[in-house]
Every structure is written in structure tokens, then in C-alpha cells.
Chain A
Amino acid sequence: MSVLVVVECDNGEVKKSSLEVASYGSQVAQMLGTTATAVAVGEATEANLAHLGEQGISKVLYDAEPRLKDFVNGAYTKLIAAAAEKEQAQVIVLANSNIGASVGSRLSVRLKASLATNVVELPKTDGGKFTVKRGAYSGKAFADVVLSGDRKIIAVKKNSIEALHNAGQTAPVESFSAQLSDADFADAPKQVVMQDQAGGILLPEADKVVSGGRGMKGPENWNLIEDLAKALGAATACSKPVSDVDWRPHHEHVGQTGITVSPNLYIACGISGAIQHLAGVNSSKVIVVINKDPEAPFFKAADYGIVGDVFDVLPKLTQAVKELG
């Protein structure tokens, strides 16, 4: 019996969300009196994987097959299932990412496991039941879900668990092969196209987000959003009306039918706060709203607010961040 953690890597680095997942998995292992093994997917280096010891991981399995660099659903599912069998894993923990949810749902059928996605807290094991808290109704509510199967798969929402950092701890990295065949790569991507991200920060991974709405008046004014985001080390985002009129790309659309984010800081600029937008951001730790309309509904969900013109306020904020040094 053990806990298996699925760690996603990109360009040799372990993703921030996977550090959170590793920390979640090692804490679950501690609760269950066992150890947590990681299986790494994507492009990884042994040195970076070894650092997963800092998150409490006991051992890392890594298949260096080059075709696993990019996500392939069939191959990733087979690899992780093989690792789960090798480790006799009762609990498998992944990120609630496009990769984690895609693989997790296939794995749940293959391994006859109960699956919970969008999980925001460590499990409770009172009274012999295994219960996790997950976001529901697009962030407007939470659900305590009992996982009834002998095996459980948990996909952890980004930014909901603090990553552990036990400096100096390292984990041995073991070579691992799932004996993948060409058939396992039938759904391999023909091409991978990366899009420009302001400041190089990916929105789903960001712990700070600066977002603009129709109050920005047009795409030509987005430099004000980007300047503040760059100064803060934040990702940029937008409301649905903005992406609908193509001021910004769809992958920046945050809300009920866009990306749901839960950063530590969400700054909404010229966004009135329709219920569908709030649903996508209201699990952010701190919400800041800047709007010239004091009646904008977003102020009711905000922690800090400025009633004012975004064109005056944003340069002042950017300047103030730069002065912090």
C-alpha cells in the first residue's frame, strides 16, 4: 500500500502545481502511515526530480522515453497505471490540470477507482470514510464527497495546498519503463503550438493575476494591464465579453465558462463582476477591484477596492510596485 503522486514536468522543471500535488500526496501518506512515491511525466531532469524529497516524496519513478515529452493520453494512462500497480498504490494524487483530469478519468475506469477532481483540502478519514472537499457549481459552492472504492484518485486544484519545502531533502530517482508500444501513442500530438503569455506566466499556474474587462475600452490599452502584471510577476486574464470581441485570446478568458482560477491575488480592472465572472475567480485568496462605478457588484466580493478610473489608477499601482524594489 502506498500513495502515488503524478508529477508534471515542463522543460526539465517540475511544475509549481506538481510541487503542491507532491506535498498533498506526502501528507496523505503520512495520514495513512505509508510513503509517497512520485511518477514523473513530461520532460524532466534527474536533478530536479530528486528535489521532490523537499515535498516529502520518498522515491521518484521516471520513464525517459522521448515521446513522453508531450502529453499523450493513451501512453500517460498506461505509464501511470503501471506505476500504480508496481507500488500497490491505494491513493493516486494528480493536479487538476488538463493532463491530470484527462488521465485521471481514464485511470479511474482502468484501476476501478473512485475519482474526485477539483479537490481543495486534505482528505478526512473519520469513521472509516474517506471524504474530500471539492469545488462545485463553478466555484459558487463546495461539496464534501465520500470516495467509496478501495482505490482513490484525487485531482488537486491549483493554489489550494501550500507546497512543503524541507530544504536539503532529496528523493532517489529510479528508471521505470511501462513497456509502451506504438499503439499507446495513437493519439500523440502532430504539432504543439505555444502561445505568447504576457511575462511568461501561465494563467492556470499563476499565483497572481491581473485581469481586464470592458472598462479597458479596447485592446490598445492592454499595455496598462501588462505593465502591472509584469511588475508583479502576474499572469494576465480577461472577462468573457473581452474575449468574445477578440480584444484578448480565449485562453485568457476567466469565468464560469472559461478558466477557473484560484490565485493568491486577483486584480480586476474595469470588470463589473457578473455572477458568471465571479464564479471563475471567487476562490482567489485576495480580490482587488478597480472600477469607476461604485455600484459595480464586484466590490461586494472584493477584499480591497479603488473607486476610480483604471487609466489613472493602473499606472500608479505599477509605479508603486516598482518602488517596492
Chain B
Amino acid sequence: MKFLVCISNVPDTTTKITFTPDNKEFNKAGVQFVINPWDEYALTRAIELKEQQGGGTVTVLNVGEADTEPNIRKALAIGADDAIRVNAFPKDAFFVAEQIANAAKDGGYDVILMGKESIDYNGFQVHGMVGEMLGIPTVAPAMKLDMNGTTATLEREIEGGKEIVEVQTPFVASCQQPMCEPRIPNMRGIMTARTKPLKVVEAVGEPARTEVAEYALPPKKQGVKLIPAENAGELIKLLRNEAKVI
């Protein structure tokens, strides 16, 4: 079985977010980039399923410029077999989805996995777009994925519960907790990752359909109003009479 796992290159989760002086772009200075945490679930689960089946391949795909390659190598060190980098800045979800759909068409993948969303753009869009472009089912967000031949059983999160869904390959799923315990690379993986194939291809398709005009930080808080613990009930009166939220 051929798995395609799509990964984003995102700022580390502890990053304090700032923008360039014109507020048009994220300020990368001094920021460490990591594999999008949601995508780590997709990557690890694909590797686990490949191991269970005793065969197959896991290909990672990233739409990004050359500076994303350290994290692509990290994905190879975790256990992916090979990688594709679409050499382009990921302009918007539609643009990224087109690159993934194009690679999937050429590669004949059975299962396409990715994280629920990226922690920078938070779009929760790419999986559905890829599914629609390829005319195959999408299950999002998936909390569990098991394979039995060409049949996949997934648990999909719904508000207040979950749905059990069965689909046939090929399909797209976006992944989230508690799908698996993400793996970290070991020394052997790091050594072998250096020699695994990483193919660089150019972007295809239409231009982006959305454009960020400006970024902004949330307004600063006024400062905390402290209530003495011995008089904690006063807080409830303030929430009703001052903040008017209860």
C-alpha cells in the first residue's frame, strides 16, 4: 500500500508571534520551525500501518522553499521512505491542495494523510480540497485509522461524540489526537535519512484564491483584577454586574 503524508513547516509551538514592519508577513527571525504537530500524527500512523502490513511505502510531501528541507529530512528519519518537495511558497490552502492532488495523481497513492490543520494558518481546508480535486472520500478530522486490505475504518470526531466511518481506498484523512503517539527520530533513522530520495518539483496549477492583506496581533489586555481568595464569591458578582457574562 502506498501512503502519501503531507507535512507543513510551521513555527515551533512556543513561538511568540511577530510580523514584519508592514504587517504583511510573519517575522521568521530567530524562529525555529518544526513539522506541524497535527501532521506528526499522520506521519506516525502511516509508518505504523506500513509496518503492520509488512510492506508498502510512505512518501512525505511538503509544499515549501528550500529552508523546509531539514524538517523533510526529519520526517525521513522518523521512518518515511522518500520525499517530494514542491518548490514554492505555500500561498494558500487551494494552491497547496492543487500541488498535493497533482502529486497524488502521478503517484497512485492509496491513502493520503495530513494533519487536521496547520498551527499557523489554521485553515482546516486542504484535506477536503484534495478529496474533491481527486474525486475521492475525505474523512476529517480522524482520531483513529485502521486498515484491512483496501477497507479503512476511521473514527471521526463530531461535536459531542464520534462517528465510525468505513471507506475504500483511495481516500484522504486529516488526523488528530489520539490517533497515535508521535515518534521521534532515532540515531539510525537520522543516519539513513541522509541517503533517502528527496525529489524537488516545480509548482503547477492555478494561482491562489486568497491573499493575506495584513496581519495583526490581538489587542493587549487591560491587566488582571485580583480578588482576594477569602472573598472569592465577589468574583461571581463582578462577572455578573461588571463583565456581564453570567
Q: Are B227 and A304 in contact (CB under 8 A)?
A: yes
Q: Are A193 and B224 in contact (CB under 8 A)?
A: no
- For B246, the chain A residues whose CB sits under 8 A away are 208, 232, 265, 321, 324
**Chain B contact residues: helix, strand, loop or mixed:** mixed
* A189 adjacent to chain B (CB < 8 Å): yes
* A230 adjacent to chain B (CB < 8 Å): no
Q: Are A145 and B210 in contact (CB under 8 A)?
A: yes
* A136 adjacent to chain B (CB < 8 Å): yes
- For A243, the chain B residues whose CB sits under 8 A away are 177
**Chain A contact residues: helix, strand, loop or mixed:** mixed
Given A313-B229, A317-B233, verify A144-B128 contact (CB < 8 Å): no
* A68 adjacent to chain B (CB < 8 Å): no
Q: Which chain A residue shows the least CB distance to B121?
A: A136
A286 to B165: give the CA distance in the assembly, Å. Answer: 38
A256 to B117: give the CA distance in the assembly, Å. Answer: 11
Given A102-B140, A189-B164, A202-B159, verify A146-B211 contact (CB < 8 Å): yes
A306 to B224: give the CA distance in the assembly, Å. Answer: 10
- For A189, the chain B residues whose CB sits under 8 A away are 156, 163-165
Q: Are B233 and A319 in contact (CB under 8 A)?
A: yes
A265 to B55: give the CA distance in the assembly, Å. Answer: 51
A186 to B170: give the CA distance in the assembly, Å. Answer: 13
A148 to B167: give the CA distance in the assembly, Å. Answer: 34
Given A282-B218, A288-B235, A306-B227, verify A136-B120 contact (CB < 8 Å): yes
Give 1 or 0 for each of A47-77: 1 = CB within 8 Å of chain B CB: 0000000000000000000000011011001
A209 to B94: give the CA distance in the assembly, Å. Answer: 34
A109 to B37: give the CA distance in the assembly, Å. Answer: 26
A138 to B162: give the CA distance in the assembly, Å. Answer: 24
Q: How large is the interface on B (under 10, 10 to 19, 20 to 34, 35 or more residues)?
A: 35 or more
Q: Are B163 and A275 in contact (CB under 8 A)?
A: no
Q: B82: shortest Cβ distance to chain A, in Å? A: 27
* A239 adjacent to chain B (CB < 8 Å): no
* A114 adjacent to chain B (CB < 8 Å): yes
Query: Which residues of A are interface residues toward B (Cβ below 8 A)?
Result: 10, 70-71, 73-74, 77, 96-99, 101-106, 108-110, 113-118, 129, 131, 135-149, 186-195, 197, 202, 204-205, 208, 232, 243, 250-251, 253, 256-258, 260, 264-265, 275-276, 279, 282-283, 285-286, 288-289, 299-309, 312-313, 316-317, 319-321, 323-324
The 7 residue pairs across chains A and B that have the minimum distance between CB atoms: A105-B128, A308-B229, A320-B233, A189-B163, A194-B161, A109-B132, A320-B236
Query: Which residues of B are interface residues toward A (Cβ below 8 A)?
Result: 11, 13-14, 16-17, 19, 26, 37-38, 93-94, 97, 119-129, 131-133, 137-141, 143, 156-168, 177-178, 208-218, 221-222, 224-229, 232-240, 243, 245-246
